[in-house]
């Protein structure tokens, strides 16, 4: 499930990258006082001359991955618009 969602993001980001681009996903589970903060996900996308990073916390693994992918997708769109303007 997670791999498929990240691969979809990778194909979206592939249009802006070269072979040096990489994606790193860190997911952890912690027992916290607030159950809605149990899962933590950090997605880092290394693109030429920039690092795009999204962080999220949620009670569900599926939801935390969806949240962080949406955050990084917005950053990718912003990065692509900056490249096009140049």
Phi, psi of 22 (to 5 degrees): -145, 155
The structure's pTM equals 0.83
Nearest to 27 by CA among 59, 53, 75, 64: 64
Q: How far apart are CA 86 and CA 82, in angstroms?
A: 7
What does the pLDDT read at residue 39?
A: 96
Q: What phi, psi does 46 have (nearest 5°)?
A: -95, 115
CATH of the structural domain 2-85, one choice from 3.10.450.50, 3.30.160.100, 3.40.50.740, 3.40.1350.10:
3.30.160.100
Domain range annotation of the chain:
2-85
pLDDT for position 1: 80
pLDDT in tens, 26-75: 999 999 888 889 999 999 988 878 899 999 999 999 999 999 999 999 99
């Amino acid at each position: 499930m997670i791999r498929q969602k990240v691969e979809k993001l990778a194909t979206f980001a592939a249009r802006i990258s070269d072979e040096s681009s990489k994606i790193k996903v860190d997911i952890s589970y912690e027992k916290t006082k607030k159950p809605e903060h149990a899962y933590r996900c950090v997605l880092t996308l290394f693109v030429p001359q920039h690092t795009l990073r999204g962080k999220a916390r949620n009670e569900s693994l599926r939801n935390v991955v969806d949240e962080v992918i949406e955050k990084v997708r917005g950053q990718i769109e912003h990065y692509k618009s900056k490249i096009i303007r140049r």
